[in-house]
Structure formats: structure tokens, C-alpha cells
Amino acid sequence: MSEYVFESLSGRNIPIVIESRRGSRNITIRPRVVGNPEIHISKPWLVSDSHVLKFLESKRKWVEKILEKVPQKCVLRDGDEIEFLDKRVRLIYCPNLRSNEFAQNDNGAWTLRVGGGADMFERRVRDVIKAELLKEIKNIIRTTPREFWPARIALRDTTTRWGSCSSTGTMSFSWRLAFAPRDVMRYVVMHELAHKKHMDHSPAFWHQVFGLYGFGVERAKRWLAQNGASLHRYF
């Protein structure tokens, strides 16, 4: 647990993580707004924590502006509606249901029925969302030539990147992409597939991304930059 907290004007207590670095000449503030919000501060070795906290207070206006991007966590309950994979889905709790039921009704509306103990409601909803996202990612990958297909696909709950591609051929994706527009999620998939050919971000790499994704790469990148934090509002 952090020793210090930043009390925002909205009433939120944000943990402050202070790290001393030898050779550092300046105090650097890095608010993190994705996942569990924190304020990371690096400082020169001989600078006291009290001086760092005073410096942070002098930057309050700037920090508060960044913290406005931190989404309030939403607790899901029976009867709520959420959007994932471009579907608006009503959540229904059925205590006696033995397996989850995700289906589209005759009127076109989507429902997700989950059973089990009430304390497992959110976990079961999350499990269905992850399973549906994995199916969708696999469907997208199948539209590309086999030479781009990964050896393995993994879903993670990362806060610093939406996807990654290892040299062994494993591709990992943030399961929270399920809450992004499908075209944005598809961009992340194509981005990682392009790394099968280019393990860098050279002009040749971006040419490959455009070749796989088509028109709209910059729009998808911009959406993630502006709205990525909102994908962490649940769970």
C-alpha cells in the first residue's frame, strides 16, 4: 500500500508512488489513469518526500485535469445493460441456471443469463465476455493469410498495452478490447499480426498494418488514445 495519497477535488484518494533514482536531476510526475489509478513520481536521491509532495501540490491543476480521464468503476448488477463487441446486452441473474446463456432474442435484443452464487455474478459475466472476445479475435485472424496466424493467443488484463507479439509467435490481447468498437479491436489484432513480419514500428511495419486493416488505421489509433481509459470502467 502506498504511504501517500493525493486527495483529488472530486473526493478520490489516488495512491502516490515515489521512487528515488540515482543520477536523476529532476522530479518527474507520471499519473496513471488506466487500470487502478496511481501517481508515480521519480525524484533525485537526496530530495525529500516532503519536497516532492509540495512540488506535486504545485502541479495540482495539471494533475487534476489528467485524473478527469480516470473512469469511475461501475459495479454490475442484475438488470443492467452493457455494451461489448458492438452489442448492447442486458444482464440477467438466474440463481438456478447451471450454465451461462448468451443469446439474441427474436426482437434482436441480446441477453446474458448467468447463474451461481450472487457473489459470482460479475465474474461469470466477465468470463463470458472474454470467451466471446476470443472467438471474435480468432474469426478476424482467419480472414488473413496463414503466414500471419499466431502460434497461440492469450488474453490479459494489461494496463500499458492493448496487444503484444512475442518472438515465439504468441500474441496477447487485453480482454478489455471487448468494450471498444469492433473496428478498433480489429485494428489492434491487425497491428499484432503485422509484427509477424516486422518486430518493430518501421515504415515497412505500418505499411503491413495498412495492408491488413485497410482504411482507418489512424482513426482507430486516435480512438484508443482518447478513450482507452474508459475500457477499464467495469470489473
Map out the domains of the chain as residue ranges: 4-67, 81-232
Residue 185: its pLDDT value, please? 98
Are 92 and 113 in contact by the 8 Å Cβ rule? The answer is: yes
Question: Which residues of the chain, if any, have pLDDT below 70?
Answer: 1-2
Q: Which class is 81-232 in CATH?
A: alpha beta
Residue 37: its pLDDT value, please? 84
Q: Identify the bridge partners of residue 17 per DSSP, sorted by sequence position.
A: 40
Residue 2: its pLDDT value, please? 61
Task: Look up the pTM and report it.
Answer: 0.80
75 CB-contact burial (10 Å; exposed 0-12 / middle 13-18 / buried 19+): exposed
